[in-house]
Each structure stands twice: as C-alpha cells, then as structure tokens.
Copies of this chain bind each other. A is one copy, B any other.
C-alpha cells in the first residue's frame, strides 16, 4: 500500500507541475504580447482552460503569477548560460547569448520588462528566486564582458555595466517587432540585423 500511495502522490505532483508549467507558458506569451498591465487574469484562465479561482489556488496574486513566469525565464537563461562551452572565448559566448535572447523574443516568449515603477517591479525585487537568478546571470555575463574587453574585442572605454544593460535591452528591443511587422525580412535576417547594429553599430567601418 505504501508504494502505491507514494506513486500516486508523485503522479499527482507531476500533473500539478505540468499544469503550472502550462499556466506559466501562457503567462509568458501574454506578457510578451501585451505586457503586465494589459494582461488580465481572466484571459490567463481562459487561455489555460481552467477557472480563475483555480488559478488563484496556484498563485496568490496577479503579481506573483507574473513573477513566477519571469523566474522561469530567468532559470531558462541560467540553463542556457551553463550549456555554453566554458572553454569557448567569452566574446563568442556573449554573442551566442544575445542571439538567443532575440530568438526567444521572436518566439513570443520574452516578457516585456516592467521598466516603469509598477507593482510587478516591487514583487520582482522582493522575490529571492528572481533576484538570485538575475544576480547570477549578471555576474556571469559581467565576467565575460570584462574578459572580452581585456582582450580588446569589446570597447574597453564602455563601462561593463553599460554593455550589460545594452545586451539586456536587446532581449526586449522593439526593433525586432517593427521589422517583423514590416514583413520584409525573415526572423533569421532580423536577428542578424540587430546583432550587427548591437555589436558593430550603425556606422560604416
């Protein structure tokens, strides 16, 4: 009986986890499409296919719901960083990260950041999980940036923090959406274009 019960609980937990993953995936899509303020909890529930009250059993508030989605994205980023060959040149890894973030955005899975002073921002800043992930990612990228600057591959006159923010901003760059709406370029071409403007600038060389 004991083994059956254990198996049963494990199965239930798996189902629970799967549902929460589905919720968060939906939230990430909506956050990417319309942002936190325009996204409604009704929408999320309807899109996932469960009742709103059920949603609130999983997450205590809209802010926590969005925060959980942001944490998931941050974890995904951490996994991506860890998947890169530690022996690879830092500059290559930075370019791979920039490219990856743009691809995630074009896939509609990159939530637009709450740059304004919103309630979500407060929740995020209070989230240990999110902040730890952000710190970890920033530390890793920061070390790569400094290494690339030391090698003379990144402009050493720029503060590392400015480079870091510039890369972060590319993950939410509206230019990608603009160009996609234009319909004149494929996703791959759009990524290449923004990679070029990000690293080489718009000046001629």
Segment with Cβ contacts to B, from A16-24, A45-53, A173-181: A173-181
Chain A: how many interface residues by the 8 Å CB criterion?
A: 50
Segment with Cβ contacts to B, from A2-10, A57-65, A80-88, A197-205: A197-205
Would A169 and B174 count as touching, CB distance under 8 A? yes
Would A172 and B174 count as touching, CB distance under 8 A? yes
- Specify the chain B residue showing the minimal Cβ separation from A197: B166
Would B117 and A197 count as touching, CB distance under 8 A? no
Distance to closest chain B CB from A177 (angstroms): 6
Would A115 and B177 count as touching, CB distance under 8 A? yes
Distance to closest chain B CB from A143 (angstroms): 16
Would B35 and A197 count as touching, CB distance under 8 A? no
Distance to closest chain B CB from A169 (angstroms): 5
Query: Of the candidates B112, B154, B194, which one forms a contact with A204 in the assembled complex, judged by CB atoms under 8 Å apart?
Result: B154
Within 176-197 of A, Cβ neighbours of B (below 8 Å) are at 177-179, 182, 184-185, 193-194, 196-197
With A113-B174, A165-B178 as contacts: A154 and B37 at CB distance below 8 Å: no
Q: A113-B174, A165-B179 known; 12 other A-B pairs, CB under 8 Å?
A: A33-B117, A154-B202, A154-B203, A155-B200, A155-B203, A156-B204, A158-B193, A159-B185, A162-B179, A198-B201, A201-B203, A205-B205
